[in-house]
Structure 1
Amino acid sequence: MKRIAHICVHVGNGGGGDYIRNLIKHLSHRYEFHIFSPDVENLTSFIVGKNVFLHKINTKRIDLCTFIRLTNILKKKKIDIVVSHGKGAGIYGRMTGLILRLPTFHYFHGFHYSHLSKMGKTLYLASEKILQYFTSLYCFISQSEAEKVGSIVKIKNHKIYVNPNGVDTAVFHPSENLTAEPRAIYLARNDAIKNLKDFARLAELSSMSHSNLMFDLVGLDPVELIDPPGSLREIINQAKRLGNFRVLPYSADPKAILAGGRYYVSTSKGEGLPLAVLQAMSMGLNCVLTDVSGHCDLIEHGRNGYLIKKSDYYLNEILDTINALENDASLRVFIGNEARSTVIKKFTHVTHFDAVAASYEDFC
């Protein structure tokens, strides 16, 4: 049995953690997985009876001791391929792979650096341009992400591999609740790129027009629920006072959350290929999303959802789009059916993980 190491920044709340759980679920019968992350305890109950081993390592900080420890574990466990996910993990994964002469795969899961300082951007881009020489394969979960990174980092074409995310359409099927109260849902962790503030502002704008639309922000951890960080606190608390806005913790059962909604709304500034959107589409929700990487790979505007270009008035455009859908039930049904059809045709979990396994075999 081939041994695959996955080095992650986190495996808790959000798409990254969900991706690792799905990977384990679908491929641990074929491969022995070693998962390295600062929060591997989030997987403890999930791996029972599976060929999975957890290693708690702080991949968010770069230091020599961690590098030596990681290298020794990979060598001792006779790892065949090193796969890294995210920034810090990407440095560890590719450098240990270089030392041990192992194939190295890297996932960005969204190429985000706009929030960094000028110096931070320079260092990050410079490091990626160097690390590409030690990267066997860049794994992208959307074509738009591959094109964006490829043009900036100047990755050679033979190292670019695009395998779109996928979901289990038998699990994420349409809910009867789509005819219930109008509710917009956003599943997202607290990350600057997710732009949670603007989602909260939607509730305020909606209340000013006396709309009956409700908003659910799902994904903050228990501490953040009590005391949201920084400027997000004021905006969220103000939205909650309006009575049309709820903040809910991360759920291991996104289907149950999405079943209570009619719309999926994302104000994100950039994505890889978000699982939450795929899940919402598979369940027939009407998706109204920012026109950014990842979203544009999924949505054909006006056919299976809506893409809203960022502008000073884009929040108003999101609400206008939802209000138009509220006034046209037959259009909502059409958009929902087309969204699910798109996922069934192009974005299933079987297709995705079969391709993942094939990529392993190519390098083992």
Structure 2
Amino acid sequence: MEIACSVVGGRIDEIREKLNGYVKKIHTVRLVRSPVNPINFKGYGDVKEIINNGHYDIIWTNEPVMGVTVRLAARKVRKNGTKVMYMVHGFHFYKGAPLLNWMVYYPIEKMMANKADLITTINREDYKRAQTFTVPRVEYIHGIGINTERLTKSENAIDIREELGLSSDDFIVISVGELNKNKNQKVIIKAIAQLNDSKIHYILCGKGDQLENLQSQVKENGLEGKVHFLGYRKDVVDITSQADVFAMPSKREGLPVASLEAMYCGLPLVNSNIRGLEDVTENGKSGYTCDPDDVDAFAEGVRKLKENDSFREEASSNNLETVKKYCVSETKKEVESIIASL
């Protein structure tokens, strides 16, 4: 097996070290995520040269720019029997997406669909959409697989309540992910303010360009000491395992890895009712799902979970069962089956 990728944000040496012994060769190509960056023309040349000289049986590509580039570059070798598989981690056009996304990405993906032998999706909305394209085959799999090996709690795990000065009967809501507009953590802060419950605390693990705005929102709502910004943490699993509820109010997701990891840790969820999240959560069974901007619904979901111990335990049990098919051991079987069929 060989891999072609960008310099991965300057981390290519780290990638080479981690994959040493697993792959025959790692090629670097001059491609970036922005579809309007002219360097992608040079990247197309890089990809075409690799494909034409590689004599590959199967080419697996993902991500919009790389996906388009690879499918264009592979037109010749497909005529000679090479199969191309395009894996979609989340179309940029989806229910509720900005009109510009539909105007730019939808026609490109529709036009490029027949340049692949197979499109694989990781959520049901994308699966149904891809089925309307002119492509020989569309498959759905349960994501790229959550790595359960890294979800084992540390033997010397810190006590997050002790670190933050919280008592055993304080109720912890946690979100894990980049602090950006899409992750929409502001709606949970508003919900916490609305609940006005001295026992509810909100922990955010992650960093991002919305940190100052979120901190200002906390101050405006008088929530100092109730909302805790922990930044980037390597012990997220330990912290999550000690929380009571996981919140993911995102506006857009392909498949929510953070929510799946929280489910594996046994947490009930309060999530957005959007593509991807709807695949793994069910309102009233895994917790509660809400419109991304519905502060009242998020507040009500948190309140109900805090006041109903039995439902919280029931949701935890349901999530521990649901998450099994999203673990890497299972999704690996799905991917291997697809590759074998090609």
TM-score bin, normalised by smaller chain:
0.7 to 0.9
Deviations for 1:54-81, whole angstroms, at most 9, x for unmatched residues? 6263332443212102222333444433
- When normalised by structure 1's length, the TM-score is 0.74
1:135 to 1:251, Cα distance in 2 relative to 1, 3 A: farther
Matched, 1:215 2:202: yes
Tell me what 1:90 maps to: 67
CA distance in 2, matches of 1:117, 1:302: 29
Deviation of 1:336 after TM superposition, in Å, equals 0.7
In the TM superposition, residue 190 of structure 1 has moved relative to its aligned partner by 4.9
Distance 1:233 1:54 in 2: 39
Letter in 1 for 2:318: E
Secondary structure class of the residue paired with 2:18: coil
Please list the CA deviations of residues 25-73 of structure 1 after superposition, one character each: whole Å capped at 9, or x if unmatched: xxxxxxx444445424353443344326262633324432121022223
1:291 touches 1:310 (CA, 8 Å); kept in 2?
Answer: yes
Cα contact 1:112–1:193 (8 A) shared by 2? no
Query: Is 1:321–2:301 an aligned residue pair?
Result: yes
Report deviation, 1:307: 1.5
Cα distance in 2 between the residues matched to 1:330 and 1:173: 25
Matched, 1:74 2:51: yes
Contact 1:97 1:103 in 2 (8 A): no
Counterpart for residue 171 of structure 2 = 182
2:172 touches 2:203 (CA, 8 Å); kept in 1? yes
Q: What CA distance in whole angstroms lies between the structure 1 residues aligned with 2:251 and 2:216?
A: 22
Counterpart among 169, 173, 182 of residue 193 in structure 1:
182
Cα distance in 2 between the residues matched to 1:169 and 1:98 = 38
Q: Distance in 2 between matches of 1:202 and 1:45?
A: 44
Match of 1:334 among 298, 314, 318: 314
Q: Is the 8 A contact 1:110 1:145 kept in 2?
A: yes
The within-5 A match list for 1:34-183 is 34-36=4-6, 38-39=8-9, 40-41=11-12, 43-51=15-23, 53=26, 55=28, 57-62=30-35, 63-101=40-78, 102-113=82-93, 118=99, 121-147=102-128, 149-150=129-130, 154-156=132-134, 158-165=136-143, 166-168=145-147, 172=151, 181-183=170-172
Contact 2:305 2:311 in 1 (8 A): yes
CA RMSD of aligned residues (A): 3.2
In structure 2, do the counterparts of structure 1 residues 145 and 183 end up closer, same or farther at CA, with 3 Å as the change threshold? farther
Identical aligned residues as a percent = 19
Q: Distance in 2 between matches of 1:61 and 1:132?
A: 20
Q: TM-score, normalised by structure 2?
A: 0.79
CA distance in 1, matches of 2:121, 2:225: 40
Q: State the alpha-carbon separation in 1 of the partners of residues 109 and 146 from structure 2.
A: 30
Higher Cα radius of gyration: 2
Q: What does residue 164 of structure 2 align with?
A: none
CA gap of 1:213–1:44, structure 2 versus 1, over 3 A, is farther
Maintained 8 Å contact 1:38/1:57 = no
CA contact (8 A) 2:287 2:312 kept: no
Rounded Cα–Cα distance in structure 1 between residues aligned with 2:169 and 2:59? 46
Is the alpha carbon distance of 1:304 and 1:71 closer, same or farther for their aligned partners in structure 2, counting shifts above 3 Å?
A: same
Distance between the aligned counterparts of 1:75 and 1:217, measured in 2?
47
Could you tell me which residue of structure 1 aligns to residue 266 of structure 2?
284
The alignment partner of 2:250 has SS state of coil
Higher relative contact order (CA 8 A, sep 6+): 1
Q: Structure 1: which 5+ runs fail to align? A: 4-31
Deviations 1:165-201 (A, max 9, x none): 2335576469998977422222223554333433443
- The Cα offsets for residues 313-364 of structure 1, whole Å up to 9 and x where unpaired, read as x2222122222222222322221111101223x333222111112222222x
| Local SS of the residue matching 2:19 | coil
CA distance in 2, matches of 1:99, 1:196: 47
| Structure 1 residue aligned with 2:337 | 358
1:66–1:318 distance in 2 versus 1, CA, 3 Å: same
Structure 2 equivalent of residue 262 of structure 1: 244
Q: Is the 8 A contact 1:38 1:58 kept in 2?
A: no
Question: Which position in structure 1 is the counterpart of 2:165?
Answer: none
Provide the aligned length of Structure 1 versus Structure 2: 317
What letter matches 1:323 in structure 2?
R
* Preserved CA contact (<8 Å) 1:111 1:271: no
